[in-house]
Structure 1
Amino acid sequence: MSYDSILVVSFGGPEGPDDVIPFLENVLRGRNVPRERMLEVAEHYQHFGGVSPINAQNRALIAALRPELDAHGIDLPIYFGNRNWHPLLPDTLAEMARHGRRKTLAFVTSGQSSYSGCRQYRENIAAAQQVVGDDAPVIDKLRVFYNHPDYIAAEVERVEHEIAKFDAADRDQIHLLCTAHSIPDSMASRCDYVKQLAESTRLIAEAIGFPSDRVQLVYQSRSGRPEDPWLEPDVKDAMTALRQRGVNHVVIAPIGFISDHIEVLFDLDEECVQLADELKMTLHRAGTVGTHSRFISMIRKLIQERLAPGTPREAIGKFGPNWDVCAAGCCPAPQRPGRPEPART
């Protein structure tokens, strides 16, 4: 059976103040996150009027992808479904079933392998298929893209745009902090998340000509219980450490995110900017890849390589293209006290 549709799958976000708490309750259901932390994050959303830009940004991505597909003869409809807020995956899959869609390629808006960035999306898709029943389409996920040349090129252009804002005499003093969402150590130790982020960081630094001692992979937006270890260093701690070494020119590149949603806008554009002011650092934040033409081209190429076996599977760096079909035990959920191992999908 050939593919008859494309599905963009993302995290979802509230689109009004009344959505914030129900959305966060969806996100945190079954997780050991204190309620006070949830309310703290809720205030981040309310700071922006209770509206996350993520849905609008995904719609913009779909709008940019449509002509890219058309220009290369890929006449497949594009659908949009979220894990945590409307349009929710069960509703989108029900719509696809009504339209007679039987086999779909899914682009997940996460470039690295981890439980929360890959396997959980696959579990959510499987749960939505169960809700819809026998008429639900078969859905195959596209591979992760952390080392795709078009993704790296888009990241490099975003970073170089910020470097150009510094005086030419200062550019050999700039340090680059590549950020991604922190995850629990218990999750990170059972997947390739850190390895893939480190490779993206290395490829970007190499392309812009930065030596390794001026580039660092850091993390942001941790949640969970304070006593549980998560990936470090935090971006703000890294900024403070750099300032103590006499560094005062920094570019932050949020390589773990493809769009400027709340965790980018609040954690980087609010908190890190405030810290930079306190530290008397010059800080510029690179844009996410968003609808960059090279990134949209990359999505089209990932689709093409599945539609036409034998199409070159592009990747650069040490590891080559990732697999299309995840192994049964790939990226398991982190183990928590009293929580059984999740079902394998």
Structure 2
Amino acid sequence: MRIARWSTPQGVGEGFVIGERVVPYPDGLTVADVLARGLDEAHRLSAAVHDDDGTALADVRLLAPIVPAAIRDFVAFEEHVEGVSASVDGKSEVVPEWYQAPTFYFTNPHTVLGPGEAVRPPVTARLDFELEVAAVVGGPGGANLTPADAAAAIFGYTIMNDWSARDLQSREMKVRLGPAKGKDFGTSLGPWIVTADELEPYLDGDGFLAVRAEVFVNDERIGHDLVSNMGWPFPELIAYASRNSRVVAGDVLGSGTTGNGGCLAELWGRRGELTPPPLTEGDTVRMVVEGIGELVGPVGAAVAAPELPAARVRSRARTRDERVAL
């Protein structure tokens, strides 16, 4: 099954993509409702509306297939870490701590973009894409899940483009936090959610999703990889995210950037130069993932933000009286 959200002159629709048509859920249900009810209920609903006429897919504008509850983005590809560390941090390395647990950061669920929706980046000299596959959680979710429990919580998968301003990211990560403003201006998701059962034939014997992923800039292929080159399979990423915490229906968990040119920064780090060049207004990034589909993201004009002053030099007084005396 393919789960989608779309826009028409009559409003936003949410439901199934069946062949070349979109069919709304019955009873006004939303994607969020169906994710919460789980995959079995989605199959029942699909059977109930399978013969409905719906609307031609060509006559609607696809939106991001989900309004995420939260977005966690992992860094699960060793090859990506090797290359991008040189570009962002100035030193190519995979630190020992990377191998110990699947690290992630939280990104902004309020700046999600849909298929064909232009990213409006901050002013940056090093705009980049990141080719990823994301798992979408369904059902009740839970805390401290085992990998088996986490596998059962995967409702489906979508393509994720984690847009990145590498110069901003490099500055803020020198402060031992982030990425933050280097990332949170836009994350593209789509074109739809493909349910987990559809991708079961691509799972290898160790539970890794062995689908081919490619990325093109202006129709030139920049990178390609197998998603099974992740250091951990998706169920283990979700299990780790739930440790002493909770994952819920609607959570999106990105794989992290694939290797072998899954982003420009990896290539910049390996080559020691900005080749291929950073993205600029008018470029188009197209991501193709086997079994899921194609996600296109154009680059729009940068948005200049209001200036903020640098940190002030402070006295480090410990009382107001001491501060006045100084």
TM-score range, shorter chain: under 0.3
Larger radius of gyration: 2
Question: Which structure has greater strand proportion?
Answer: 2
TM-score normalised by the chain length of structure 1: 0.25
More helix by share: 1
